[in-house]
Amino acid sequence: MTGPGAAPSGNGVAGHGVPGSSAAGTSSGATAGATGGATAGATAWPSGAATGVGSLPGTDIGEAVRTVLGELPDLPHLPELPARGPGADMIGRGAGLLAGLPVELYAGRWRIAARPGRDLRRTLDLLDRDLDALTEQTTGLTGPLKVQAPGPWTLAASIELPTGGRMLRDHGAVRDLTASLAEGLRAHVADVVKRVPGATLLLQLDEPSLPAVLDGHVPTESGLGTLRAVEATTAEAALRSIVEAVGVPVVVHCCAPGVPFSMIQASGAAAVSFDLDLVGDLDPLGEFLDAGLGVFAGAVATQSPPGGRPPSSAEVADRVRRLWRRIGFPAERLAEQVVVTPACGLAGATPDYARAAMKVCVEAGRRLAEHDR
């Protein structure tokens, strides 16, 4: 992976590495489209698959990897354990991947630093431990494998400039951050491919702040105002630079209301991940699916409901089918294009509930596949 001393090259884009290219071990089942995304009917996961969003409870990465490999055999992911503290949180983990932009903690917030220091070393050490655990337990693994990192807009809305204030307020700083992230993620993906050579890698970009960035709802440092909205074309270009740099299929995860499906589609992403409870207008989602792209449907609650158990796999599968019927697509395409997931990360759940939620997702995915045969 890329350390803090590496400098981004140019704009951080390494050619046109789109889903379906031979770069970084991508599956030949995903072919390149005109916009850099997957063409209709091409997916990088098996029919009826299920996966997790990323985070899990606990602090033992070895146990977390074993759990994911056991519970999510068709599409496992590298788990994230934010309970370990700073550097294991989503923003710190992503900041550690920036090439040539060292970070530090200041008053509980991540900000750009003058030079690498203790906070960055801890962040990189945690990620190295996670990758070592993944390497040890995936010997001989073939098939899809997902890793996650925050996207450029969520990082820009969270990391502060050395002088204070979010990076989002400075267009030049956002450009530098995007280039740095593209370079760092390209190296990170290459490292994971080297460690797990039989896997078909997917990269999930976590963008929970994307709707707020587009709508101008990101608060200023004082909290008394908001930063101005970013134009959709600008946001799309930043996402596209990441998609093109990493050379593997990209899933954009957004667990906030107002998921910008059209913009994500135009960025060249292969799939979108979202909470089914937050879907409003179905037309943009329908257009996304009509392009043959994938949907990671967040259909299982992240916290234990009254009674302590997640819904049954039959209930989850029926919920996904109902949405599919409302959009009006043929039933035989459902299991191919839809991956069943929890609504978001499971870091706030109990270990027992997290395992139960993953199991329900897997069983629901298989129900969808069996129903459509």
For residue 133, being part of any structural domain is answered with yes
For residue 16, being part of any structural domain is answered with no
CATH code of 241's domain = 3.20.20.210
**For residue 354, pLDDT beyond 90:** yes
If one counts every other C-beta atom within 10 angstroms of the C-beta of residue 59, the result is: 12
When pLDDT is averaged across residues 86-93 and rounded to a whole number, the result is 97
**By three-state DSSP, how is residue 320 classified?**
helix
Q: Tell me how many domains the chain contains.
A: 1
For residue 17, being part of any structural domain is answered with no
Buried residues in 298-321 as b, exposed as e (16+ CB within 10 A)? bbbbbebeeeeebbebeebbbbbb
For residue 356, being part of any structural domain is answered with yes
For residue 124, being part of any structural domain is answered with yes
Q: Give tens-digit pLDDT for 287-300.
A: 999 999 999 999 99
Separation of alpha carbons 231 and 247, rounded Å: 26
pLDDT band at 281 (very low <50, low <70, confident <90, very high): confident
Contact 126, 80 (CB under 8 A): no
For residue 13, being part of any structural domain is answered with no
For residue 265, being part of any structural domain is answered with yes
SS percent in the chain: helix, strand, coil, step 5: 40, 15, 45
Q: Give tens-digit pLDDT for 121-138.
A: 999 999 999 999 999 999
Q: Give tens-digit pLDDT for 21-32.
A: 333 333 333 333
Residue 213, pLDDT score: 97
For residue 213, being part of any structural domain is answered with yes
pLDDT band at 310 (very low <50, low <70, confident <90, very high): confident
pLDDT band at 373 (very low <50, low <70, confident <90, very high): low
Domain that holds residue 111: 23-218+232-371
Q: Which of 28-32, 111-115, 144-148 has the lowest mean pLDDT?
A: 28-32
